[in-house]
Amino acid sequence: MKRLLIILPFFLIIGITNAQDQKLLSAFTDSYAFETNLEYDKAATLLEKVYLNYVSNYEINYRLGWLRYSAGDFKESENYYKKAMELKPLSLEAIYGLILPTIGQQKYNSVIRLSEKALSISPNDSRAEYFLGLAYYYKKDYVKSEKFLEKAINKYPFDLDINLMLGWTKFALGKKNEAKSLFLTAQRNSPYNVRVKNALNLINK
């Protein structure tokens, strides 16, 4: 009888945990369905309904960071990503996640700090180099921007975003021929891309 009294709570705990896991999984599954239909707000709201039970869960914070970012709520997105970073301080995906709403809010100094942190975890990471290049471009420090984007493009020479960003940086530095060559590479990557078309139109003006 004593043994039964000891084992029962274990089964109860396991049962409750399983039910909670099931509830969380169900919330995640439904949120993906809404996301597929571009209903980010609904997807986030669904997860937020169960959030209080999983405040210390990395995955739910990370996912809510993405969904709130996609719904255009940068401030909330930032809060969720920060929480995810607290829970997994070495998570590169959380750092890069946080960079997105940070860019959305034009906090370029924070973007630089986060990218440097990413580089300290994963040296020579091209994403961190791209974000550093982007942040310095928006801060109008084109020399620094060029330095980081050159590093990134060596690893991904055919990447659309890096080619475009480095093209604009070169253009800003007066290196028009190099810029045009980069825009043309971007065009070969994505012939119908509006950003590329605009860039080529403006440089040919």
Partner 1 sequence: MKKIIYILLFGLGPLLFAQERNLDEITKDLYLTGDWQGLIYLSSKINNDHFTTYEIEYRLAVAYYNSGNYFDSAQQFEHIINTYHIKGDVLLEYLYYAYLFSGRQQDALLVARDFPFHQEVKTGVKKVKFIDFISAEGGIKLSDNKQNGIENLTYLNAGFGQQLGYRLKLQHAFTHLSQQYINLKYQQNEYYGNIHFQMGKGLTLIPSYHYVSIKKDEFQENTTYFNNNRMNPAENEEPVNNNDQYNTKTNIFHIAVKKQWNRFSISPSFVYIFTQSDQNNAYSKLQYGVHTGLTIKPTRDRLWLGAGIDFLNSDYENKMIWNIKAYYSLGTKAYIYLRYLSAGTSDFTLEDAMYYYNAVSTMSNNISTTIGFYFTPKMSWYVNYQYEINADYDYDLDFSYNTIITGIKIDL
Q: Which of 194, 198, 200 is nearest to 181 (CA)?
A: 200
Tell me whether residue 57 or residue 79 sits nearer to partner 1 (CB atom). 79
Phi, psi of 155 (to 5 degrees): -90, -30
Considering only 15, 72, 89, 157, the residue that binds partner 1 (CB under 8 A) is 72
Contacts of 194 (CB under 8 A, 6+ apart): none
Note whether 171 binds partner 1 by CB under 8 A: yes
Considering only 69, 130, 131, 137, the residue that binds partner 1 (CB under 8 A) is 137
**Contact between residue 78 and residue 64 where contact means Cβ atoms under 8 Å apart:** no
Smallest gap from Cβ 8 to partner 1, in A, equals 45
Q: Write down the residue that tokens 């439904």 correspond to.
A: 30
* Cα–Cα dist 184/110, whole Å: 32
Cα distances (angstroms) measured from residue 142 to each of 16, 90, 145: 56, 30, 5
Note whether 140 binds partner 1 by CB under 8 A: yes
Note whether 172 binds partner 1 by CB under 8 A: yes
Note whether 200 binds partner 1 by CB under 8 A: no
Note whether 109 binds partner 1 by CB under 8 A: no
Note whether 59 binds partner 1 by CB under 8 A: no
- Can you give the binding site for partner 1, defined by CB under 8 A? 41-42, 72-75, 104-106, 137-138, 140, 142, 168-169, 171-172, 198-199, 202
